Chain A
Amino acid sequence: MRIVILIVSFILESVISNFFPVNSFFVSLFSLTAIVAIYPLFEDEKRKYFLAAFLLGLAYDLIYTDTIIFEAFLFLFIAYLVTVLRTVLSDNFLNSIVILLVCIVAYRTINYFSLIITGNLDFNLHNYLASIYKSIILNVIYCLALNPIVNFIKRRKKKSYLF
């Protein structure tokens, strides 16, 4: 089920991008949001969680951005960031959103500055900030939509352990 959520999020990210104008306030980052949202389902299997993040990043590299293992390591770092933040913050609705926001900022910052360092982009503070605030609305909504699904799967998993 965890893998299904990741695959659906990955596909949905591409589908949704066709429904909103490129420069709108609805930039989808559903793969990243899924990595953040499904952490509770991997709580006791961190190695599997990191592997899933890495593979999702690799698929992102190959299918969406045409880069070589860059997104794979970036997703891996985001997964690590999530595990660190989850040890500090308790598992609730609001904290999930806070973690998602931190991850969006980290993802955009690393991505942008890597492209600047390698000479692919020139620094523009407005563009950098725009990339962050345009990614917030849609992904927070998606995270809120994933939360009850994740909780349901978690409860069912717990029940199956008990019986």
Chain B
Amino acid sequence: MYSKKKQFDRRYLLILAVVIIALVLVVLSVALKKDRNLNFFERFAKDTGMIVLKVAYSPFNFVKEQIAEMQEKDNLYEKYKELKEKEDEMDSLQAENDNLRNEVNNLKESLDLNSILSDKVLLNATVVNRNIGYWYEEVTVDKGSKDGIEENMAVITSKGLIGSVSKVSSHSSSVKLLSNENMSDKISVKIRVNDDQYVFGLISGYTAKNNTYTVEGISENVDIPKGADVVTTGMGSMFPSGIQVGTVTKVTTDNFDLSKVVKVKSSVDFNDIDYVTVLKREA
């Protein structure tokens, strides 16, 4: 009688343990789900918190900017020389740019297109905090839905593409960085092989150690030179075309020798992002 009761108790405990483990897993998967929209309460709390953080950060930011300014002053003459050289090229580049813009507008009119893949609106934002959760590879910026930011918009710095907007509240947004080794979204890119030839591929991964992306799915039998520019194609709904991603550092083939695998050094230093630009694709 006693052993039967004991056996029953054990079975009961086992079932209870399984139920608790299942429950914990369900709660964890809900609690840590990243692709969900923030509810009203979360948005309100985040906005309030961000206002406090922005106020707290402003004196520190002022000091940081002053130090950076002082450091830049040391290299003023070199900067002047560099800018002087660039100024000489500016006139011809400006003329070429105007000419190309006219051509694009004429082509759009003749093809009856409302927008093209490279059309975008720029919104500048300041980084309020960087990767606080450590594992999430996100930065928070001080612009939100009130400024016209929406989920999945592309985010760049002056150097190139850094990621996309993952969550939006009224006055702040979270930006999911491409420096995420568990990249789930594939990004379509093109590699400039020569002046008028591109090969297309997909960014399938990122290695933090060398700050490089892996681009796969290139079946064309063309030589890809080291140092070739890699830019977005604009395919898919997220990223406009022509955004700098990086430069080619290594070209290999896959295990079956069927397609090329290209290592691309990112043009952005993900360790040090202070200001970003959010790109809104024109509808």
**Interface of A with B (CB < 8 Å)?**
11, 13-15, 17-19, 21-24, 27, 59, 62-70, 108, 111-112, 114-115, 117-122, 124, 127, 131, 135
Q: Is B12 an interface residue (CB 8 A)?
A: no
Name which of B92-100, B125-133, B252-260 contacts chain A: B125-133
Interface size class of B (residues with CB under 8 A): 35 or more
Determine if A18 and B32 form an interchain contact, defined as CB atoms under 8 angstroms apart. Answer: no
Further 6 A-B residue pairs, CB within 8 A, beyond A70-B32, A122-B181: A22-B270, A59-B49, A62-B49, A66-B38, A67-B31, A131-B134
A22-B130, A63-B45, A66-B38 in contact; A111/B135 too (CB < 8 A)?
yes
The answer to whether B42 and A21 have CB atoms under 8 Å apart is: no
Instruction: With a 10 A CB-CB cut-off, give which of B32, B56, B208 has the most chain A CB atoms.
Output: B32
A residues within 8 A CB of B129?
A: 14-15, 17-18, 64
| B30, B127, B130 interface centre (most CB from chain A within 10 Å) | B130
* B139 and chain A: residue at smallest CB distance: A22
Contact of B272 among A21, A27, A108 (CB under 8 A): A21
In angstroms, Cα B134 to Cα A24, docked, is: 12
Q: Return chain B residues, CB-CB under 8 Å to A120.
A: 32, 34, 135, 182
A114 touches B128 (CB 8 A): no
30 contacting pairs across A/B (C-beta < 8 A): A11-B53, A14-B57, A15-B53, A15-B56, A17-B131, A18-B130, A22-B131, A23-B270, A24-B271, A59-B49, A62-B46, A62-B49, A63-B45, A64-B133, A67-B32, A67-B133, A68-B30, A69-B31, A108-B134, A112-B135, A114-B28, A118-B32, A120-B34, A120-B135, A120-B182, A121-B182, A122-B181, A127-B181, A131-B134, A131-B135
Q: What residue of chain B has the Cβ atom nearest to residue A14's Cβ?
A: B129
Which 10 A-B pairs rank lowest in CB-CB distance, beginning with the nearest?
A21-B271, A63-B49, A62-B45, A14-B129, A70-B31, A65-B133, A64-B132, A68-B31, A118-B29, A17-B130
CB of B171 within 8 Å of the partner chain? no
A117 near B60: Cβ-Cβ < 8 Å: no
Interface flags, B221-252, vs A, CB<8A=1, else 0 = 00000000000000000000000000000000
- Given the complex, which residues of A lie within 8 Å of B128, measured CB to CB? 14, 18
Say whether B127 contacts A62, CB under 8 Å.
no
Known: A66-B167, A117-B25. A18 touches B132 (CB 8 A): no
| B9 within 8 A of partner (CB) | no
Q: Which of B127, B167, B208 has the most CB of A within 10 A?
A: B208
Question: Which of chain B's residues 182-236 have a Cβ closer than 8 Å to chain A?
Answer: 182, 208
State whether the Cβ of B50 lies closer than 8 Å to any Cβ in chain A.
Answer: yes
Q: How far is the CB of A115 from chain B (nearest CB, A)?
A: 6
Instruction: Give the distance in Å from the alpha carbon of A13 to the alpha carbon of B60 in the complex.
Output: 13
| Alpha-carbon distance A14/B270, docked complex (angstroms) | 17
CB of B136 within 8 Å of the partner chain: yes
| Interface positions of B from 131 to 170, Cβ below 8 Å from A | 131-136, 140, 167
Chain A residues contacting B208 (CB-CB under 8 Å) are 23
Q: How far is the CA of A65 from the CA of B129 in the complex (A)?
A: 11
CB distance from B283 to the nearest CB of A (A): 27
Residue of A nearest to B169 (CB): A66
Q: A14-B57, A22-B270, A65-B136 are in contact. Are A118 and B131 (CB under 8 A)?
A: no
B174 proximal to A (CB < 8 A): yes
Interface centre among B25, B34, B135, B271 (most CB of A within 10 A): B135
Are A65 and B132 touching (Cβ within 8 A)? yes
Q: Is the CB of A121 within 8 A of B135?
A: yes
What distance in Å separates the Cβ of B258 from its nearest Cβ neighbour in chain A?
25
Cβ of B33: which chain A residues have Cβ within 8 Å of it?
A: 118
B52: Cβ under 8 A from any A Cβ: yes
How near does chain B come to A50, taking the closest CB pair, in angstroms? Answer: 19
Are B42 and A13 closer than 8 Å at their CB atoms? no
In contact, B271 and A63 (Cβ under 8 angstroms): no
Partner among B50, B135, B179, B274 whose Cβ is within 8 Å of the Cβ of A63: B50
Given contacts A63-B45, A63-B49, A114-B28, contact A22 B57 (CB under 8 A): no
